[in-house]
Structure 1
Amino acid sequence: MKQVILGAGGDIGKLLAKELKQYTAEIRLVSRHPEKVNTEDELVSANLLSAEQVDRAVAGTAVAYLVVGLKYDLRIWKRDWPVIIDNVINACLKHKVKLVFFDNIYMYDKQAVRHMTEASPLNPPSRKGKVRLEVVQKIMHAITQKGLQALIARSADFYGPGAKNGILNIMVLDPLIKGKKMNWQSDVSKIHSFTYTPDAARAVALLGNTDNAFNQVWHLPTSAQRWTGREFIEKAASMKNSKASYFVLNSFLLSLAGLFNRTIHELVEMQYQNNQDYFFDSEKFCKAFGYTPVSYEEGMKEVASL
C-alpha cells in the first residue's frame, strides 16, 4: 500500500517518512526537489500549484499526507493555499486516496486559545487564520458532500531536533546552543504549548494508518505541562548551566522591526497567541491511542544535545 508525502522536505515531512516505514515499504516523496529519507523511497518532483502534477503525484497511492509549509507571507498564503488544497482534494477524489492534512491552530477563536480542543470554535481573528479556515472548510465540504476520506491532524507551535521552523528552536534553543541571548514574544508570564516534532510525525503516521481515525479532527500529542515562557527560558538555561538571559519582543518592537523584515511584519497580527495563555489539549489522541507525549525537559534536552 503505497503512501505519498506532499511537501516532503520540511520539518515534519522528513520525520514522517521515517515513521511510515512501520506501515509500508512503499513511500513516495513529493516536493520541488525531493531527497530520499529511506533507501527505497520513490522521488517525484512536482509543483503542488499544478493540478496535473499533483494528480500524477497522488495516482497509485492509498494515503496522501499534505504537510507542505508555505513561506510565512500572507500574500503567498492567499494566492497559493486555495489552489493547493483544491488540487490535492480533486486528485484524492479521482484516485480514491485518503487525505491526511497537517494543520495549525490559526483558525480557532481568539478566546479559545487559552484552552484549545478539537471542539473549540472556528473564528480566526487574523488574516492568515482566515486563509487556514478556508482550507479546512474545503476539506470538510469534500468529506460531507463528495465522499472524501480525510482527517485533520492539528499541531500547536512546534519544536524538535533540527526543526528549522520550530518557534521554540528559533527563540530559545538555537540561541542557547550558540551562547546568545534568548528571546520570547510578548509576555514571558503566559503559558505556551509546543508540539514535539517526533511526536507529531509518529502520530500523523499512526492516524493515516488507522481506518476509524478518518473524517475527524485530531490534536497531535503535546505535553500537558503548563509552562510559561519564563519557565522554558529558565529550564533551557539550566541545561547549559548558563544565565537565563532573554529579550522580550513586544508588539511595538515587532511592528518596528517589521518595517524592514517581512517575516517579522507577519508576526504582529499573531501576538494574540502570545499575550494570553496558549494551551493545546491533546487528550483525545492520547486517550484513544494510549500515548504519552515527550515532556518538555526531555524534548529540549534532545534538541540542545545536537
Structure 2
Amino acid sequence: MRNDSQIHATSPAAPLALVLGATGGIGGAVAAKLAGRGYAVRAMHRDASSQRAKSPDWEWVEGDAMNREDVVRAARGAQLIVHAVNPPGYRNWGKLVLPMIDNTIAAAQAAGAGILMPGTIYNYAPDVFANLAEDSPQNPLTAKGRIRVALEQRLQAAAGRGTQVILVRAGDFFGPGAGNNWFAQAVVKPGAPLAAITNPAERGVGHQWAYLPDVAETMVRLVVRADELPAFSRFHMRGFWDEDGLQLGNAIRRVTGRPDLPTKRFPWLLLRLASPFVPVFRELLEMRYLWKTPLRMDNARLVEFLGEEPATPIDEAVRVTLASLGCLGPATGGATTRAPADDRRKGVAA
C-alpha cells in the first residue's frame, strides 16, 4: 500500500482520471483513450510495480478495489473515476460487486470526481429484448442481474447527492488485448491459426457485439461533454448486430481467407454435466438465456447526443482482434503472439 506522499502530483493543466481495472479489456481501452485526450491516467493495481514497465506513461499506485481507504487515497485529485473492475471471472459476485461500487462512490464523493463505467445486459430479461432502451424495465432473471440492478440504483442515488455518473451499456466485448470475453474464450481459440469457429448462440438467433475501441471512444466522448448531461446518464450502444448469429463467423472467414472454416456448436450440454463440479460452468449456464433470445439495444439516445456512434468496420475490428490473439498467421499478415490475459482471471483489480 502506498502512503499519501507516494501519490504523485499531476500538472494542473491535465485533468486526472483514476482507472480501476486498467489491466482489463475495457479499462485499458478507456485509459488509452483518455490519455489520448490529454488526461493524466492514474491506475490502481494490487501489484503496481509489475505494471509500470508495461504502461510507463500512466501513474501506477498500489491498492485493492475492495479496500475503501485504498480507493479514496488513489482518487485524491481526480476529476474522474473509471470503474471497470470486476471480481475474477464470475466468482463471488454477491460478495464483491456491491462493496466495490460503494468504495468507488465514496472515493468519488471525497474527491469531487465523476464516475464512468460500463454497464451490463444482465439487468434485463427477454420481455424487453426486442428493442432495449435505456428506460426499459429492469426485471432480471438471475442473481447477477439483480446485483447489477442494485449497483445502478446505488449510482443513481449517488448522482442525487451530486456525483456525476455516466454509464454506457454495450453488447459482448471483443477487441485487441482483451482475453476475458466470449469472443476470445469461446468463439475462437487464441494462440494459433483457427481450425474452427464456435457459436454459442441458438441457430438463427441474433446477437449484439461491441468492439472495445469503439466502446472506449464512445465513453470518452461522453466524458468530454459531461457538463451537458444530467447527473445520472445511461446510454446504449448498437455495436455490431449479428442478425442471425452467422455474420460474425462470416467476417472471421473473410479476414482469415478461410471460406471453408467450419462452425461448431458451443458445448452447452457438457457445461451442464460438469457444472456440479466446476463453479464457473454454473455461472456461464446462468447466462445462457442471452444466447437463446435476440437482444438488440436501441442507440437513439446516444446518436441524438453525440451525432453518431463510433463504429469500426466489422472486418477491420475482427482482423485487429484476431491478430492480437495470435490467430492470424503470416499468410494473412497477422501477429503470432498471444494477447495478454485479462487480469480479472487472476483476481487482481482489473
Q: TM-score, normalised by structure 1?
A: 0.90
User: C-alpha displacement at 1:251, in angstroms?
Assistant: 4.2
Give 2:24's match in structure 1, choosing from 7, 10, 13.
10
Contact 1:154–1:220 (CA under 8 A) maintained in structure 2: yes
User: C-alpha displacement at 1:21, in angstroms?
Assistant: 1.9
Q: Which residue of 2 aligns with 1:297?
A: 315
For residues 107 and 301 of structure 1, the distance between their equivalents in structure 2, rounded to whole angstroms, comes to 31
Deviation string 1:182-225 (CA, Å, 9 cap, x unpaired) is: 212241311001010001111222222222235210124613x4
Give 1:255's match in structure 2, choosing from 263, 272, 280.
272
Contact 2:188–2:198 (CA under 8 A) maintained in structure 1: no
Gaps of 5+ in 1: none
For residues 234 and 29 of structure 1, the distance between their equivalents in structure 2, rounded to whole angstroms, comes to 37
User: C-alpha displacement at 1:57, in angstroms?
Assistant: 1.0
What is the aligned length? 303
Give 2:106's match in structure 1, choosing from 76, 90, 98.
90
User: C-alpha displacement at 1:143, in angstroms?
Assistant: 1.4
Deviation string 1:63-87 (CA, Å, 9 cap, x unpaired) is: 111011222335x110011111111
Gaps of 5+ in 2: 1-14, 325-350
Give 2:143's match in structure 1, choosing from 119, 123, 127.
127
For residues 283 and 244 of structure 1, the distance between their equivalents in structure 2, rounded to whole angstroms, comes to 36
1:196 is the counterpart of 2:214? no
Q: Which residue of 1 aligns with 2:61?
A: 44
**Does the residue aligned with 2:265 lie in a helix, a strand or coil?**
strand
Give 2:162's match in structure 1, choosing from 138, 147, 166.
147
Contact 1:78–1:131 (CA under 8 A) maintained in structure 2: yes
Q: Which residue of 2 aligns with 1:115?
A: 131
Answer with 288-297 or 153-162: which moved more: 288-297
Q: Cα–Cα, structure 1 residues 251 and 45, in superposed 2: closer, same or farther, change >3 Å?
A: same
For residues 215 and 319 of structure 2, the distance between their equivalents in structure 1, rounded to whole angstroms, comes to 17
**Same amino acid, percent of matched pairs:** 23
Q: TM-score, normalised by structure 2?
A: 0.80
Deviation string 1:236-269 (CA, Å, 9 cap, x unpaired) is: 2243214242222364332113234322221111
**Does the residue aligned with 2:321 lie in a helix, a strand or coil?**
helix
1:24 is the counterpart of 2:38? yes
Q: Which has the higher contact order (CA 8 A, sep 6+)?
A: 2
Answer with 269-278 or 22-31: which moved more: 22-31
1:185 is the counterpart of 2:183? no
Contact 1:113–1:273 (CA under 8 A) maintained in structure 2: no
Q: CA RMSD in A?
A: 2.2
Q: Cα–Cα, structure 1 residues 47 and 171, in superposed 2: closer, same or farther, change >3 Å?
A: same
For residues 296 and 108 of structure 2, the distance between their equivalents in structure 1, rounded to whole angstroms, comes to 33
Give 1:33's match in structure 2, choosing from 40, 47, 52.
47
